[in-house]
A = this chain, B = another copy of it.
Amino acid sequence: MEKIIAELIEQLEKLPGIGPKAAQRIAYYFLNTSRQSVASLLKSVANAKDSIKFCQKCGNYAVQNLCSICSNSQRNKNLLCVVEQPKDIIGIEASGKFLGLYLVLGGQINPIDNIGPDDLRINLLLKRVQEENISEIILATNLNLEGEVTANYIKDKITQNQANSKIKITRIASGLPAGSDIEFADEITLGRAIDFRTKI
């Protein structure tokens, strides 16, 4: 294979979820497709990167100072959902089950990667808790160890302040994914699914 194609494939393999085969397929697509459609894709990437910044209120991606959710007057300002990354918002929005506002931490507490509470938007969260009229905070960090640690840290920080005693703090449910087989579920998920069983 020509070295320049191998280099392109190598670069494409850095994309998330793209293995060697997929990278190869995309590289050959680029070589085979019109200059115009490649230019159009590259322009979309550059445009998005140039015009996107972080929402000053929640940390989501935004074109203006506020993201499209924070600047939407229809959203319920008493509900706050805390997520790790902007991409986590997409799935929650798609569910249609949450109509409040978000706070994007920007990651999870992770001592191995040297990420502590000060590297996340926890101070922004505490400031909003103080200034806004929030009735419930849903902690929607990931369901892994670091996500749980982060959720617990935030819960402790908020409940430490007596002024917050009326705020309900919740955690998204853990259990078996929709459509899944019990046979193939891991024991931790199954344990949680039993612990948090609901009456029907």
Contacts and interface: CB of A to CB of B under 8 A. Distances in A.
Interface of A: 1-5, 7-8, 11-12, 14-18, 22, 24-32, 35, 37-38, 40-42, 44-49, 51-52, 61-63, 67-68, 85-87, 90, 93
A52 B86 contact: no
A121 to B, nearest CB: 15
Q: Tell me if A's interface is mostly helix, strand, loop or mixed.
A: helix
B17 A63 contact: no
A86 B90 CA distance: 38
A49 B37 CA distance: 12
Contacts of A22: 17-18
Contact of A7 (B2, B35, B48, B87): B48
Copies of this chain, complex-wide, total 2
B25 A41 contact: no
Given A4-B48, A4-B63, 10 more contacts: A2-B61, A4-B52, A5-B48, A7-B48, A11-B45, A12-B41, A15-B26, A17-B25, A28-B86, A31-B48
10 contacts: A1-B68, A5-B52, A8-B45, A11-B45, A12-B44, A15-B26, A31-B49, A31-B61, A38-B49, A42-B42
B68 A25 contact: no
A149 B13 CA distance: 35
9 shortest A-B CB distances, which residue pairs? A11-B44, A28-B87, A8-B48, A8-B44, A11-B41, A16-B25, A16-B29, A4-B48, A15-B26
B30 A26 contact: no
B41 A87 contact: no
Given A37-B14, A42-B42, A87-B24, A30 B4 contact: no
A184 to B, nearest CB: 19
Most B C-beta atoms less than 10 A away, residue of A1, A41, A63, A67: A1
B42 A2 contact: no
Nearest to A28: B87
